[in-house]
Structure 1
């Protein structure tokens, strides 16, 4: 089982995909709570160069509320990360598959919520 939902967008600008990702997330009820510029962090901390790589921590408040209501410690696995990664022929977008990440938690009600979040994140990745 893959742990991410992936899409390669060819021959595009990284910042364009970033803007498209934020719009698609917003259009599907997610907000970006955190942002990590991995490329800048690696340069600053390790003096290492790498291609553009950004992690967006996305949250759908209603779904997070529902998940926390059925499993209070699930917040340790939130928000849902979406990765934008520059590759040789474009930008790869990868979103966490919440169903895969929730297999560690034995709670059938939470798995139902995770399935709804996965469906919504799949729509986001397709919309970018």
Structure 2
């Protein structure tokens, strides 16, 4: 079972794809709360070089509110991470599948919310 929703933008420019992803996430009700530039961090902390790799912490506030109301500790699994990474074919976009990540929590209502979030993230990834 895959734990991410993936798409490759062939020959895409990393920064251009990043801008498009942020816009599409916003169009689907998500804001980017956090950003980690993994490439820069690895260079700074380990003096290691790698291809562009960025983690965006995306959150749909209404869905997060609902999930926290159903399961207060679910915040340990938020926000929904979306990664952008440079690969030989272009730029790969991978969003966490919330249904898979929430599968350890025994709460049917939360699983329904996770399904709704997955649908929104899937639509966003396809729309980039």
Q: Report SS of the residue matched to 1:66.
A: helix
Instruction: Give the C-alpha shift of residue 12 in structure 1.
Output: 1.1
Which position in structure 1 is the counterpart of 2:43? Answer: 43
The total of aligned residue pairs comes to 128
Matched residue, 2:15: 15
Work out whether 1:81 is the aligned partner of 2:48. no
1:4 equivalent in structure 2: 4
The aligned counterpart of 1:92 is 92
Partner of 2:102, secondary structure, is: helix
CA displacement at 1:55 relative to structure 2: 0.2
CA distance in structure 1 between the aligned counterparts of 2:63 and 2:55, rounded to whole angstroms: 20
* Gaps in structure 2 of 5+ consecutive residues: none
Gaps of 5+ in 1: none
